[in-house]
Structure 1
Amino acid sequence: MTNAAVGMAALVTGASSGIGLATTKLLLKNNYQVFGISRRGTVPGLENDQFTGVAIDLSQPDKIDAQIGAILKQCQFDCFIHAAGNGQFGSIEQFSVSQIDAAIRLNLTSALVLSRSIVPLFRRRKQGRMIFIGSESSLSAGRKGALYSAAKFGLRGFCQALREDCASDGINVSLINPGLVRSPFFDRLAFSPAANSENAITVEDIAEVILQLLQSSPDIVFDEINISPRVKSLIFSGSQTGNNR
């Protein structure tokens, strides 16, 4: 593996917090130019000439096409990291139709709609890397996870098909499935990882894995990477409402 060459550019979703923010910071440290997508298009405290904030509300997929189209006309990037998402947990009957729709739009539909615009760009260039943040909930569903797992299982299936569709065009598609990650994802949920370092992955851990993928040979593909804390332990408290990753 080698350090990122000056001039490499990445498009990162969820860039204002959690895994997306940690990835943005690490890529900037490694000489990447980063176009960071978030709802507001700003990252408080992040001042770097190599960073460009992009305001796109990924919970509104019908508006993504026009917004991402404008970005693609203005910039070229070599890799796409989709880290945006949120968690909604509870029995399925607890969710309204609008809540179900909103969760699927953000956690699944946004990835499809963004890819719809990005894949043709990479096909024309015969190269590109696409990295999606999934979840251990896409491997094995648990109690109260029907809605979240539905989206993440869907994302996993999408990545598998996209990988097959794009391989001959020089596009590498990878899915990272983290277990418990210590991040704002849990801020408004009824549970969170226990306090010890062995009970949760850090967002910096995931960012390091993403960087390793970007620095690996373009001739090999890491289909899926599953990452878990050594000891899984949860703390339960409060009421569940959901939160962004």
Structure 2
Amino acid sequence: MQQDAPKVRLFVDAPLGDGAAVALERAQAHYLFTVMRLGQGDAVALFNGRDGEWRAVATEAGRKGGALRCAALLRPQAEGPDLDLIFAPIKKARTDFIAEKACEMGARRLIPCLTRFTNAERVNVERLRAHAVEAAEQCEILSVPQVLAPAPLAALLDAWEAGRRLMVCDEARDAPPAMDALRAAGREAGSGPGPWAVLIGPEGGFAPEERARLSEAPFVTRVSLGPRVLRADTAAVAALALWQAALGDWRA
């Protein structure tokens, strides 16, 4: 980030532009003016996932509300790779961890997936989005991933988007190493990786019929994440890191 950029960043839904006024919600005002102890005239970095990042100045500062005005563009909007994370929900705190880290790792959409062995079918989408927003604010990211409602694996596969590849993290011993498989897929794709998704299954593994359908799907690339069995939240971070290193924006 530029040296003159404010240290405090805030995600907002309002349009941003030169001179644009942004009204603060009560929780946002409390965070800026009570928790961070900012006041009228202090600067904040704003982003909304569409209009880049802007330096804004507090024009009104109160405990229950406030307002900011955009003063200068800090960074234009930039889009990362078109990468989805599909994951079977687990315990609440560890699902929150997945949402935070997937945002940090550059996922564009988060899709909770219900499988036969999923052990936590209730998912609070708004809670996951809040964790993703907080991660984006802290990590200087310009976009917040979209969090979709939970859907059965079969329904996701039935409605699969044409042209999107799916990296399936498979515990089977015959699955090739992730980096080898992804690099091979990249060579086949030619210029640019195109849209992808990463699928992390439940901690009980995929059911036989789920594994069979995934193995038969022409858009699937099966990969191994190494010699150790990883917990689901660890596997999500490892898989996204490997994809970014092989095909994404980690490449030199």
- TM-score normalized with structure 1 length: 0.36
Structure with more relative contact order (C-alpha pairs < 8 Å, separation 6 or more):
1
- TM-score normalized with structure 2 length: 0.35
Q: Greater helix percent: which structure?
A: 1
